Amino acid sequence: MLSILRKARLKDKEMRILMLGLDNSGKTSIVKSIMGEDIHSVSPTLGFIIKTIEYDGYKLNIWDVGGQKTLRTYWKNYFEKTDTLIWVVDSTDRERMDDCRQELASLLLQERLTGASLLVFKNKSDVPGCMNEAEIREALRLDDIHTHTWTIMTCSAMTGHNLQEGLQWVVQDAKDRLFLY
């Protein structure tokens, strides 16, 4: 039933994208950068922000939800009808990689996220000495994920690097799924 509804929405070319990650990973900056807004005016997201972006004929409704520890218990309120989960990782934050892995792993166990694809954005890649893609893959044990279609992309909210390519993957994945059902 859920997959039929999802397919109907994808046919309408409308998608629901949930952007999550630990606090300070750069979620709001990514959304702002995609929207062409000044990323230097960001302040911590205490609730959530929804932004709609038109991309390749698709209407992408992006939900940017606050990532502080106290707010993570509320994440579940946003799972419903999610087509794609964008998991934003601060690639300079080596200390919290375990926390990051655990939060992602528990999200992927959520029943209401079954069927959602996963894009891991390796953010802050403009910072010298940040973790590379292979290191993040290993730290988050991405190769063990078999329940969701996933990919990892190196990006930077600061320079805008790969953000459009990320959206392109999201839309292409939606198109592919229409043929799969």
Let me know if 120 is exposed, middle or buried by CB neighbors in 10 A (0-12, 13-18, 19+): buried
What percent of the chain is helix, strand and coil (3-state, nearest 5)? 45, 25, 35
Say which amino acid occupies 67.
Answer: G
Active site residue 172: no
The only residue of 10, 15, 17, 28 in contact with ligand G3D, by rule CB under 6 A: 28
Which residue number, 42 or 145, has a Cβ lying nearer to ligand G3D? Answer: 42
In the complex, least distance from residue 148 CB atom to ligand G3D, rounded to whole angstroms = 21
Q: Is 154 in the site for ligand G3D (CB under 6 A)?
A: no
In the complex, least distance from residue 83 CB atom to ligand G3D, rounded to whole angstroms = 21
Let me know if 170 is exposed, middle or buried by CB neighbors in 10 A (0-12, 13-18, 19+): buried
Chain residue at closest Cβ approach to ligand G3D:
26
The only residue of 16, 27, 122, 177 in contact with ligand G3D, by rule CB under 6 A: 27
HSE (CB half, 13 Å, CA atoms) of 24? 8
Other CB atoms within 10 A of residue 58 CB: 17
Where does this chain bind ligand G3D (CB under 6 A)? 21, 23-29, 42, 44-45, 67, 123-124, 126-127, 156-158
| Active site (catalytic) residues | 68
